[in-house]
């Protein structure tokens, strides 16, 4: 009896996912042909731990106000924090402002295309550098966000969730699956990401709608439940993060600096409020003026 050939992920996964993406991709402004590299970079900062539906209106308003890195760099970092609104993790606004300043001063106002130059920008890590190089400049890069890692963990490795941090094995697998043609490789990267966002989701995956279900190692194994270290669950109500958000909301909505009593009224647990305010000052998200008031930087 002739043995059946072993499954080849590059054959069984890549083209079906590319075909699926061609038919199912969401129309997002940072993916359109006319999108600037700046639009892509802004979207990558905003999409970190924030759903697309919340990012869309803020991204649009941001690009209208600051259509180039130089426009943002010319404004204050406090205005960046104000415009960030309620996207969460507002230090991203400070880092994006710092990145815009670096782009303006070091790259003539143009978002660089090389991975190394992107990685050197404030607030840009491995994923963001690879994503911008791929999605804005059509390069062949291994792009491993949470969605991509989950799809590859299930489809190829047969486990429900990937490890907590990116491993060398994941990078090697990502590189092995990349199509040789750079533009196709860039499309593949965003296609896997989209599949993870819409179908191969963390909770209640839509396996019946998956274009590679027949080749999925996790499905072939009976979809075994995750048995690794506990996955972190992000709480919100009553946390220091919520307190920080309340204090920032007071400052965002104020036309100028405010007195301490305005901040005290925003949160009634004194010790936690003081701790949150101290951390905002340490992070540079809030400044204390010479007359003892509080404001955005």
Task: Return mean pLDDT, the chain.
Answer: 92
Tens digit of each residue's pLDDT (9 = 90 or more) over 269-279: 889 999 989 99
Write the CATH number for 96: 1.10.340.30
Q: Are residues 47 and 131 in the same domain?
A: yes
235, part of any domain? no
Domain residues for the domain of 202 are 142-220
Q: Residue 5's pLDDT band (boundaries 50, 70, 90)?
A: very low
Q: What is the pLDDT of residue 88?
A: 87
Total tally of structural domains belonging to the chain: 3
Tokens at 11, concatenated: 């054959």
Residue with the two structure tokens 């996912």: 17
Domain stops at, among 102, 135, 168: 135
- Residues 202 and 269 placed together within one structural domain of the fold: no
Tell me whether residue 293 is in a domain: no
Last residue of a domain, one of 116, 135, 154: 135
CATH of the domain at 207: 1.10.1670.10
Active site residues: 44
Same domain, yes or no: 153 and 72: no
Whether 147 is in a domain gets the answer: yes
Q: Domain for residue 104, yes or no?
A: yes
Residues 250 and 213 in one domain: no
- Residue 279 lies inside a defined structural domain of this protein: yes
Q: Quick one: 263 and 185 in the same domain?
A: no
Query: At which residue do the structure tokens 């003539």 appear?
Result: 108
| pLDDT tens-digit readout, 166-222 | 999 999 999 999 999 999 999 999 999 999 999 999 999 999 999 999 999 999 999
- Tell me the whole-structure pTM to 2 decimals: 0.87
Q: What is the pLDDT of residues 86-130, one digit of tens each?
A: 898 899 999 999 999 999 999 999 999 999 999 999 999 999 999
Structure tokens of 143?
């792009």
For residues 44-61, give the mean pLDDT.
95
Any domain includes 151 = yes
Q: Is the dihedral of CA 235, 240, 245, 250 positive or negative?
A: positive
In the structure, what pLDDT confidence band is assigned to residue 236 with cuts at 50, 70 and 90? low
Q: 9 near 18, Cβ under 8 Å? A: no
Query: Are 59 and 158 part of one and the same domain?
Result: no
Please tell me whether residues 46 and 129 are part of one structural domain: yes
The residue among 103, 135, 167 that closes a domain is 135
| Residue 202 and residue 181 in one domain | yes
């Amino acid at each position: 009896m002739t043995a059946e050939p072993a499954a080849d992920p590059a054959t069984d996964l890549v083209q079906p996912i590319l075909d699926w993406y061609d038919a199912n991709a969401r129309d997002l402004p940072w993916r359109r042909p006319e999108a600037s590299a700046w639009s892509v970079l802004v979207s990558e900062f905003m999409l970190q731990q924030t759903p697309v539906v919340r990012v869309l209106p803020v991204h649009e308003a941001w690009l209208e106000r600051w259509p180039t890195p130089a426009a943002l760099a010319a404004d204050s970092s406090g205005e960046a924090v104000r415009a960030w609104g309620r996207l969460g993790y507002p230090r991203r606004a400070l880092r994006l402002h710092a990145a815009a300043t670096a782009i303006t001063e070091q790259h003539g106002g143009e978002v660089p295309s090389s991975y190394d130059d992107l990685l050197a920008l404030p607030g840009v890590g491995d994923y963001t550098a690879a994503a911008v190089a791929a999605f804005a400049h059509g390069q062949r890069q291994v792009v491993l966000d949470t969605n991509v890692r989950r799809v590859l963990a299930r489809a190829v490795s047969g486990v429900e969730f990937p490890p907590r941090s990116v491993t060398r094995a994941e990078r090697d697998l990502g590189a092995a699956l990349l199509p040789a043609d750079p533009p196709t490789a860039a499309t593949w990267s965003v296609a896997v990401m989209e599949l993870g966002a819409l179908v191969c989701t963390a909770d209640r995956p839509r396996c019946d709608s998956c274009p590679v279900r027949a080749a999925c190692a996790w499905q072939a194994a009976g979809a075994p439940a995750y048995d690794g270290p506990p996955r972190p669950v992000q709480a919100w109500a009553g946390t220091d993060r919520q307190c920080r958000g309340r204090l920032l909301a007071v400052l965002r909505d104020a036309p100028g600096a405010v007195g301490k009593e305005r901040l005290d009224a925003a949160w009634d647990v004194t010790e936690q409020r003081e701790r949150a305010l101290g951390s905002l000052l340490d992070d540079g998200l809030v400044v204390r003026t010479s007359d003892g008031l509080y404001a955005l930087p």
